[in-house]
């Protein structure tokens, strides 16, 4: 756990959240400022700031997290599809520096040029 990290504080139960899934390595919460009709965050329990901070063993953790997301998406009613976003750093607009995967869906989405 890292001090001053909002997702570590949520994991520790110090900040309330709407948790829809949890296992030994990850949890999934509703995003507090949804950017789509359905917007959740899949968050590793271990604090990684960025993908570049992960070791090979950590990447195994991340692979298992990605493998869990389809079942969580089904539970969220996203059978028609969804988008995963992992912001990395300032240019991507990352605001919480604890690795997380956005799960977005609930309507058809464009894929605009950025």
Q: Which of 93, 1, 77, 92 is nearest to 39 (CA)?
A: 77
CB closer to ligand AMP, 4 vs 57: 4
Q: Please select the residue that binds ligand AMP; options are 17, 28, 43, 65, rule is CB under 6 A.
A: 17
Q: Which of 87, 101, 96 is nearest to 4 (CA)?
A: 96
Q: Look up 100 and say whether it is catalytic.
A: yes
Instruction: Give me the 33-72 binding string for ligand AMP, x by CB under 6 A, dash otherwise.
Output: x-------x-------------------------------
CB closer to ligand AMP, 68 vs 94: 94
CB closer to ligand AMP, 13 vs 93: 93
Contact criterion met (CB below 8 Å) for 44 and 61: yes
31 part of the interface to ligand AMP, by CB under 6 A: yes
Give the footprint of ligand AMP on this chain (CB under 6 A): 6, 15, 17, 29, 31-33, 41, 87, 93-96
């Amino acid at each position: 756990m890292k001090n001053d990290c909002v997702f570590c504080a949520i994991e520790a139960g110090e900040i309330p959240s709407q948790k829809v899934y949890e296992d030994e390595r990850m949890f999934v919460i509703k995003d507090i400022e949804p950017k789509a009709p359905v917007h959740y965050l899949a968050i590793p329990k271990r604090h990684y700031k960025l993908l570049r901070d992960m070791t090979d063993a950590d990447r195994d953790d991340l692979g298992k997290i990605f493998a869990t997301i389809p079942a969580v998406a089904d539970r969220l009613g996203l059978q028609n599809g969804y988008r995963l976003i992992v912001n990395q750093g300032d240019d991507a607009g990352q605001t919480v520096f604890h690795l997380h995967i956005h799960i977005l869906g609930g309507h058809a989405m464009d894929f605009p040029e950025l």
